[in-house]
Amino acid sequence: MAVILEDRPIETVRSEVIDQLIMNYSHGELSYEAFERRLDKAMELQNNKDLVQLTEDLPLAVDKAFVEGKKQGLAPNYVPGEAEDVDYMIDVFSGSNRRGMWSVAKEIRCLSIFSGTEIDFTDAKFSQREVRVKVFSLFSGIDIHVPENINIVSKAFCIFGAVDNHLSSQSSQGLDIANATNRPTLIIEGFSIFSGIDIKIKRSMKEKLVSLADSLRRLFS
């Protein structure tokens, strides 16, 4: 006998509802305005019954091909393989960045003194399950942008500084929570003295879901 709706994990129900919204929008059954409005509600509601009601009037059910396509579209850019052992970023009275499509080393060592440093992992290619970012920041600022589909561990030690982790508990909504342990893990450690380390998502989960839905709509139209 199937588990009753009220006893099912809410994140599983939420993911299924979001899948059905994307499916129907991509096939032209929902306008963009209706899709965005229902998607906002799907990411906020905390009751299984309310979630399911968002899709009761939609004609198209989700098939396995769609689920697999969504997993690939939202999966982290992870391809197992070899990687450089260490990547150095050294900024003294200057500034530098890593952004775009770049290959992530096993370990990144970042020295920032009276400088500004940006490390953007949003479109980076991971080839290792675990990546360490070792920082030493003095009178500086380090901005670390991460995708919503990797795990983050922050171990940095601060002296007259701060580590601001803006990652939301809702950042994984729409993803398969059961596969969280299979995502790359980013470990941030080191020292921040009279400095700040800012860890945040550059592109929200909603933005990524809308982008996926738009790409599927173009494919099916």
DSSP of 83-109: --SEEEEEEESSEEEE-SS-BPPSEEE
Q: Are residues 91 and 186 in the same domain?
A: yes
Q: Are residues 114 and 198 in the same domain?
A: yes
Q: Is residue 102 part of a domain?
A: yes
Q: Are residues 26 and 132 in the same domain?
A: no
Pairing mode, if any, of strands 196-201 and 141-146?
parallel
Q: Is residue 72 part of a domain?
A: yes
Torsions phi, psi for 189 (to 5 deg): -145, 165
Residue 143: the pLDDT is 93
Q: Are residues 41 and 94 in the same domain?
A: no
Q: Are residues 102 and 70 in the same domain?
A: no
pLDDT per residue, tens digit, the chain (221 aa), is: 678 888 899 999 998 999 999 999 999 999 999 999 999 999 999 999 999 999 999 999 888 777 777 776 666 778 888 889 999 999 999 999 998 889 999 999 999 999 999 999 988 999 999 999 999 999 999 999 998 778 889 888 899 888 887 765 444 554 554 455 568 899 999 999 999 999 988 777 788 888 888 888 888 77
Cβ atoms of residues 99 and 54 within 8 Å: no
Domain count, the chain: 2
158: which 2 tokens? 């601060």
Q: Are residues 104 and 180 in the same domain?
A: yes
E strand spans, 66-205: 86-92, 95-98, 107-113, 116-120, 130-138, 141-146, 151-154, 157-159, 162-165, 185-193, 196-201
Residue 150: the pLDDT is 84
Written as one letter, the residue type at 21 is: L
32: which 2 tokens? 């963009």
Q: 0.85 cut: is pTM over it?
A: no
Q: Are residues 106 and 161 in the same domain?
A: yes
Cβ atoms of residues 110 and 136 within 8 Å: yes
Q: Are residues 91 and 199 in the same domain?
A: yes
Q: Are residues 65 and 137 in the same domain?
A: no
Q: Are residues 168 and 111 in the same domain?
A: yes
Residue 148: the pLDDT is 77
| Domain extent at residue 57 | 5-76+207-220
